[in-house]
Amino acid sequence: MIKHALAPFVGRTVDGVFIYLDQIRPAPVKDGDKAFLMRNMSILTGETGVHDPELLQKLRQKIRQTLALHRRIQIVDLYVFRYPYPVAMNKPGAFVALSTTMLNLIGDDDSALIGAVSHELAHEYVASEHFEAVQKHDLAKMRELELFCDAVATASLIAMGLDPSHYASLLERAVNSSPEAAEMNNGQREMPNITLRKRVIAEFTIQLTSSPPAH
């Protein structure tokens, strides 16, 4: 599964990863389609949504560089919502959302924040594959795509001069935050287990940081 998840990036430098992502990135979601994707998302826009302009502006500033890296400034929106579990979610090309519990786990660790957001942004690159896997109830494929997104998050952090191990640590804290989270991330459902995710991050970090600089 790790081999398949990393297959698109074999032999690539950090620059090469983003050249590849530029080639497969979907066209931006139109405003009308974004409104459609936001239907039934009252968890973000209703009473559970956090409507704190100062907090949201601070977070948007922190993630601006990764949005730029993925060509999604002024395209992908950011939401924060109250929820008792550490959750990051997305609608590809439309928004990224973080629960207050996830933000509490992140704290002031910008590397962890950017890793989480970059992972969610990465889902846009494989949105059609993920949709097909969901339709077929192909849990193994869904787990593989999650590892692909972890690889993209790793490349994003390295491209920004940040340490991917902080992102790996966040994932481990999130998985171990409750019995429910541990069960959801035990590798039997759509999420790979934390051991595989940490291996992808560690192995891809070694690949990218040991690559010769591009000329």
- Domain boundaries, given as residue ranges, for the chain: 2-209
Q: pLDDT tens digits for 1-29? A: 999 999 999 999 999 999 999 999 999 99
What's the per-residue H, E or C state across 82-119?
CCCCCCEEEECCCEEEEEHHHHHHHCCCHHHHHHHHHH
Rounded CA separation 5/9 (Å): 9
Once rounded to an integer, what is the mean pLDDT over residues 48-73?
97
Please state the rounded mean pLDDT for residues 98-118: 98
